Every structure is written in structure tokens, then in C-alpha cells.
């Protein structure tokens, strides 16, 4: 398997499982796939963070508002892998409950990844909410 195939496999398995868990109220898997090395950053649909400690706090706060994820789908638009760096651009289509109320929404997300000790880790995320028709 080449670098691009290996990366895409990771995106569609480990990354997708972590995102689905977050929308079920569990931020542990998402924290686990993020780099523990600075710099890390999030410009999120709900929270921003510019350090690992802010990131952990933001993920906990965001996860606490979600439960009962019934669907998570990542529609990949573009990606590339160059050495130990990669990025993805795509739409995250989510059906979950937010603060107890059922919600369906689409996030437009760009993420940057770094390979650390042979494993892919997220180092930056920028996401914003768009209409579900997006």
C-alpha cells in the first residue's frame, strides 16, 4: 500500500470512528488521533483552540452537547500526502442529538495531518456549518 492509500484507509477508519464517537458524546477517540505535540489548532464551528490544553477543553465541551449519533459520513473532496504531511477537504454530514434535540447538519471541514512515529495525527482543523443542502 502506498502513502496515499494508507492515509485514505486511516481517514475512512480511525478518523471516521473518532468523529462519530465525538457526535455520540465521547471525545476520547478524537483526542487520541490528535497530535500531542505543539502546535495544534482548531477553528471550529463551535469552539476554537490554539494549544493542546485548549484543544482538550474544547473537545470535552463540544462532546458534552452531543448524543445519539445515528449517522456520520465524510464526503472527501480533495486530499494530498507529501512526505509526513497531509490534508483533507470535505463535507461531514451528521445526524445526532445536540443538547437533547435531534439535529442534522453538514460541516465543511479542512484538516491538516502530520505523521508522527509512523502514525497519522491531526494537527489543525477548520470547520464551519453550512446548510444541509451543501
- What pLDDT does residue 133 have? 45
Cell of 87: 490534508
One digit per residue, the tens of pLDDT, for the chain of length 134 reads 899 999 999 999 999 999 999 999 999 999 999 999 999 999 998 899 999 999 999 999 999 999 999 999 999 999 999 999 999 999 999 999 999 999 999 999 999 999 999 999 999 999 999 964 44
- 108-112 own/partner pairs: CB under 8 Å, 24+ apart: 108/134, 111/87, 112/85, 112/86, 112/87
Rounded distance between C-alpha atoms, residue 94 and residue 96, angstroms: 6
Helices (H), 11-81: 16-22, 28-33, 52-64
- Residue spans of the domains in the chain: they are 3-130
Would you state the CATH architecture of domain 3-130?
A: Roll (3.10)
Residue 45 has a pLDDT of: 85
Report pLDDT for 103: 97
pLDDT of residue 19: 98
Model pLDDT, residue 131: 65
Amino acid at each position: 500500500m502506498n502513502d496515499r492509500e494508507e492515509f485514505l484507509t486511516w481517514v475512512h477508519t480511525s478518523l471516521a470512528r473518532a468523529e462519530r464517537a465525538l457526535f455520540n458524546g465521547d471525545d476520547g477517540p478524537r483526542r487520541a488521533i490528535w497530535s500531542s505535540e505543539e502546535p495544534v489548532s482548531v477553528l471550529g464551528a463551535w469552539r476554537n483552540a490554539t494549544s493542546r490544553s485548549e484543544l482538550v477543553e474544547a473537545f470535552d465541551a463540544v462532546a458534552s452537547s452531543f448524543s445519539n449519533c445515528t449517522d456520520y459520513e465524510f464526503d472527501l473532496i480533495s486530499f494530498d500526502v507529501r512526505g509526513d504531511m497531509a490534508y483533507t477537504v470535505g463535507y461531514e454530514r451528521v445526524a445526532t442529538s445536540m443538547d437533547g434535540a435531534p439535529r442534522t447538519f453538514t460541516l465543511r471541514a479542512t484538516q491538516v495531518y502530520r505523521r508522527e512515529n509512523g502514525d497519522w495525527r491531526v494537527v489543525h482543523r477548520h470547520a464551519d456549518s453550512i446548510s444541509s443542502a451543501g
